[in-house]
Structure 1
Amino acid sequence: MDFDLPESAVAVRDGVAAVAAKYDHAYWSACEDEHRFPSEAWRDLADGGWIGLCVPEEHGGGGQGMLELAVACETLAASGGTAAIFLYILTPGFGAMTLARHGTEEQQRRILPGIAEGRTQFCMALTEPDAGSNAVEIRTSARLDGDELVVRGQKIWISGVENAEWMLVVARTTPAAEAREKLGSRTAGFTLLLVDVKAALADGTLSYTPIPKLGGNVVTSSQVFLDDVRVPLSHVVGPVDGGFPVLWDVLNPERILAAAGGVGGAEAALRLAADYASTREVFGRPIGANQAIQFPLAQLKAKTELARLMTYQAAWLFDQGRPCGNETNIAKLTAAQVAWESANQAFQTFGGMAYSKEYPVERLFRDSRIGKNIPVAEELILAHIGTQMLNLPRSY
């Protein structure tokens, strides 16, 4: 077994780190406080080729895989851009990776060069008010009308709509009851399609309302309303009525990138805590010399390394075209937990000063908490591990 990162991933790590070094904690805190997209960092990453990593070379990208993308996401988060992992989840993950694997030649020619150049951004619309983690129960419909699908429904917690040119929408082209009866499966009848966001906003068939939220405000999360959005059949990704396997090939990368962001977020918090504990003196010595401070941080560093290994394994399996659901879920679970625990321990290490916006600990504290809930709640991951890996009875 070879645990060395391939040269391609090392180059990505070093390249993204060089760009990220230009954007310190103060930059990311300012973007957060101003609810501002980090356009300067986005432009620098795109110009360096670090956004188009998984765009095939023939479309202007780097032709890399999920491992390199995960390393890029981790590195950006570790630099302090803990909410900036959305830069990698939304466009390279939902957009480039999905189209590179499942898009038609026409879709790839039309969209991928723009992603590689940083001109084109993506978002994805799956979650609904009454169908959060239970994606099978989504109600957004897409009915056939000539050579178009007419999409109607409501989505929630859709991040990045305000900057997106394209939205990957999951809709039902066959109602649930009919799909079970005629197609033989509760996961049949789903279709993935590409909505031209700017055009739909312009004609009034798509609208969105931002949701005020605790953190992660470098991107907006919104309720999205689709009121008879017309989508050409040429914008369908994968087969009509057979989109669920394609959807899993979107969700696994999302979870891997979320795990990578969690690992990077843990590193960012631990670095802040270790630096502070090394210089902050109480009772005549650095507080980091006290085992009550040092040992919890050391324990979390060990957990971070374990989460990193699991994330890299999941990414490697995905790139090999092998089943990776178990590894992906374990990576996401452990990385989200250690990111939150590290931010929480950093908060404790800073003492009362952690509550001040003078330090970025409060931002990392807020950014890290949501990872335990998205893109999938840890309770559902534990249910997956229990039923799929331990063969325990289903509870849902």
Structure 2
Amino acid sequence: MDFDLPDSATAVREGVRALAARYDQDYWTACDAGKRWPQEVWDDLVAGGWHALAIPEEYGGGGQGLLELAVALESLAAGGAGGAASFLYLLTPAFGGLTIARHGTPEQRAEFLPAIAAGELETAFAITEPDAGSNALNITTHARRDGAGYLVSGQKIWISGVERADVLVLVTRTTPAAEATPRTHGFTVLLVDVPAARAAGTLTYQPIPKLGTNTVASSMVFLDDVRVPADRVLGEPGQGFAVLWDILNPERVLAAAGGVGSGELTLEIAVAYARERAPFGTPIGAHQAVAFPLARAKAQLELARLMTYKAAWLWDRGRPCGAEANIAKLTAADAAWQAADRAFQTFGGMAYSLEYPIARIFRDARIARNIPVAEDLVLAHIAQQQLGLPRSY
């Protein structure tokens, strides 16, 4: 067993942390308050090739794997971005670059990957629906054959980044759930030209007012006979569930990496405050009531990091990693939340002041327990797949 990161991942950590150091908490607070995409950070990621780590070198990318992508996301989050880092690394680097590199046809890879690597094309991912929620098997957005392609109609919810996207990685059904045997049959993943569909009036969206993570908009998306050519199918028609799982496992791993990085940022801010704050003459960090919960949060983050790296390592080697990816997401989200909660308590009443970033970090840490998959479903997966308990749904 070797717990040293490969040189490639170490270089990524150093490079992305140096990039993140250019932006302070005032920058991230301003982006969130203004509901503004952190364009300057994105431009720096593109300029350094940090967004294209998982794209093969022949298409202009870094030729690295999910582990390096996870380390980059963790480093950006820990370096100051916090929860915003997950969107910077999920939307285009993972949902676009990683997925198309893994499942695209040679023609699709040649068309899309160089543009992603050059920062000229951005992507978003659409699976969740209002009436299906976490039950992906129950989605109803339907793609029906029409001539040399498909016409797609339906509705998606909580789709982040669609307002920026050039391509939407869209999960549809070509066989209705009631007719699918097995239930995972009949999914087809499509690459939708968002500007063309918007221009035709067949794709519209409506931003959802949110409590937090406001550096990227999340929207309701309405599809009304969106035309998609047949050569825009990702994977095989009707066999998209294999592609879907290969999207969702990396999504969980990267969400976990974001949780670990966000938790580290939270502890850094809380520890600095605990060293300086001395209302009774002694720094509050000297008291075990303050120090021990922060120390426990640190221990939990280290454990979550180990499982995150293990899951990424397995995925990069083409080995099953569903359990590890889910456990990584579960533990990292909980560790980040515990760190945020203890940081809030460390700051006392000042945690409520927007003078400090703790209120934003605390707010954003909570949603990670619900997305990209609710912790209850993760626990159900572990109970059924790891413990062999009967299904509860």
What TM-score do you get using the length of structure 2 for normalisation?
0.99
Q: Which residue identity lines up with residue 106 of structure 2 in the other structure?
A: E
Does residue 359 in structure 1 map to residue 356 in structure 2? Answer: yes
Residue of structure 2 in register with 1:314 after alignment: 311
Identity of aligned residues (%): 66
Contact 1:42 1:118 in 2 (8 A): no
Q: Which residue identity lines up with residue 179 of structure 2 in the other structure?
A: E
Residue of structure 1 in register with 2:176 after alignment: 175
Residue of structure 2 in register with 1:57 after alignment: 57
Question: Where does 1:115-130 land on structure 2 (aligned, <5 Å)?
Answer: 115-130=116-131
Deviations 1:87-112 (A, max 9, x none): 10111110011001100111111111
Residue of structure 1 in register with 2:228 after alignment: 231
Structure 1: 5+ residue stretches without partners: none
Does residue 329 in structure 1 map to residue 326 in structure 2? Answer: yes
Residue of structure 2 in register with 1:131 after alignment: 132
CA distance in 1, matches of 2:304, 2:209: 31
Contact 1:25 1:80 in 2 (8 A): yes
Question: Where does 1:247-258 land on structure 2 (aligned, <5 Å)?
Answer: 247-258=244-255
Does residue 276 in structure 1 map to residue 267 in structure 2? Answer: no
Residue of structure 1 in register with 2:297 after alignment: 300
Residue of structure 2 in register with 1:20 after alignment: 20
**Match of 2:151, SS?**
strand
For this pair of structures, how many residues does the alignment match?
392
Q: Which residue identity lines up with residue 95 of structure 2 in the other structure?
A: F
Deviations 1:40-99 (A, max 9, x none): 000001100100101110100001000000000001111121222101011111001100
Deviations 1:282-313 (A, max 9, x none): 21110000000000000010000000000000
Residue of structure 2 in register with 1:212 after alignment: 209
Q: Which residue identity lines up with residue 167 of structure 1 in the other structure?
A: L
Q: Which residue identity lines up with residue 301 of structure 2 in the other structure?
A: T
Residue of structure 2 in register with 1:86 after alignment: 87
CA distance in 2, matches of 1:50, 1:165: 20
What TM-score do you get using the length of structure 1 for normalisation?
0.98
Residue of structure 2 in register with 1:243 after alignment: 240
Which segments of structure 1 move beyond 6 Å, counting only runs of 4 or more?
none
Give the Å deviation of 1:339: 0.6
Residue of structure 2 in register with 1:380 after alignment: 377
Q: Which residue identity lines up with residue 305 of structure 1 in the other structure?
A: E
**Match of 2:236, SS?**
coil
Deviations 1:255-294 (A, max 9, x none): 0000000000100100000000001112111000000000
**Match of 1:171, SS?**
strand
Contact 2:263 2:335 in 1 (8 A): yes
Residue of structure 1 in register with 2:160 after alignment: 159
**Match of 1:61, SS?**
coil
Residue of structure 1 in register with 2:9 after alignment: 9
Give the Å deviation of 1:179: 2.0
Q: Could you tell me which of 276, 287, 290 is aligned with 1:290?
A: 287
Question: Where does 1:183-202 land on structure 2 (aligned, <5 Å)?
Answer: 185-202=182-199
CA distance in 2, matches of 1:293, 1:389: 36
Deviations 1:356-396 (A, max 9, x none): 11000011011111100000000000011111111111101
